[in-house]
Amino acid sequence: MNKRPVLIAVAGGSSSGKTTVVDKITANLVGYGVVVIKHDDYYKDQSEMTLDERRVVNYDHPFSIDNDLFYEHLEQLMNNQSIHKPTYDFVQLTRAKKTEFIQPGKIIIIEGILILEDKRIRDLADIKIFVEADDDLRFIRRLKRDIKERGRTLESVVEQYLSTVKPMHYAFVKPTKRYADIIIPNDYQHDVAVDLINSKILSILNQ
């Protein structure tokens, strides 16, 4: 009988440094079969909408995420079953046609701004992490990323940040910090926190 995987949930504001923290955790767990799943890939399909309509959707509200499918897939992985994970097209702002075949690993890391908002997902997680960063720093990082990687204009990024990203951060994202087992400030080195997290992961695996 296969042992239940260890599930780590990594939350935090947009561009807070979640991916950096995940990369540092996984770098020290080579050979343990780590699976990383981004919550962003579970944005709802919007193919029936025009591109202009998709642009005004509030992507920082919990309703924008298909958490029912996400939870279903997590349960399958936790039961050592494979899944066909959706992928998201951030240029077309809808779910892409291709899916990704994911096999379960000993360690599963889930990452996203709203990853701790749904109680069903929180209850599955063995370790809950919240990555914090200064608002100005997060905005600058997001601005650079969206222009470079997602084909956005300066004006559209600023408008989205002021109209939805910032207010939703304070309404839905930041309040989930209270559910975290560990809070990591991303303004400086966090090797000690990562070492402690990895030690806890290995401890759970060896139980």
What CATH number has the domain bearing residue 79? 3.40.50.300
Share of the chain above pLDDT 90, in %: 67
Residue 205 covered by a domain: no
- Does residue 182 sit within a domain? yes
Residue 93 burial (10 A CB sphere; 0-12, 13-18, 19+): middle
Place of tokens 């303004």: 187
CA distance readout (Å), 130 to 10, 19, 53: 6, 12, 32
Beta bridge partners of 7: 108
What is the predicted pLDDT for the residue at 189? 66
Task: Kindly tell me if the per-residue pLDDT of 76 is higher than 90.
Answer: yes
Question: Does residue 86 lie within any of the structural domains?
Answer: yes
Domain count, the chain: 1
User: For the segment 127-149, what is each residue's pLDDT rounded down to a tens digit?
Assistant: 999 999 888 888 998 899 889 88
Radius of gyration of the chain (CA): 17
Share of the chain above pLDDT 70, in %: 97
Among residues 110, 103, 104, 102, the alpha carbon closest in space to that of 25 is found at 110
pTM: predicted TM-score of the whole model, two decimal places: 0.89
What is the C-alpha separation between 128 and 150, in angstroms, rounded? Answer: 29
pLDDT at 109: 97
> Is residue 31 domain-resident?
yes
Domain region containing 20: 6-188
Domain for residue 160, yes or no?
yes
In a domain, 194, yes or no: no
pLDDT band at 81 (very low <50, low <70, confident <90, very high): very high
- Per-residue confidence (pLDDT) for residue 166, from 0 to 100: 92
As a whole number of angstroms, the distance between CA 169 and CA 91 comes to: 22
Cα distance between residue 37 and residue 15, in whole Å: 17
User: Is residue 103 assigned to a domain?
Assistant: yes
Copy the structure tokens of residue 157. Answer: 């990024």
pLDDT at 176 over 50: yes
Summarised one tens digit per residue, pLDDT across range 89-125 is 988 889 999 999 999 999 999 999 999 999 999 999 9
Average pLDDT, integer, range 197-206:
90
Is the pLDDT at 1 greater than 50, yes or no?
no
**Higher-scoring residue by pLDDT: 84, 52:** 84
Mean per-residue pLDDT for 45-71? 92
Of the ranges 18-32, 73-87, 152-166, which is most confident?
73-87
Residue 2 Cα to chain centre, angstroms: 26
pLDDT at 68: 97
Question: Nearest to residue 26, comparing CAs of 204, 205, 203, 201?
Answer: 201
User: Is the residue at 93 inside a domain?
Assistant: yes
Structure confidence at residue 137 (pLDDT) = 86
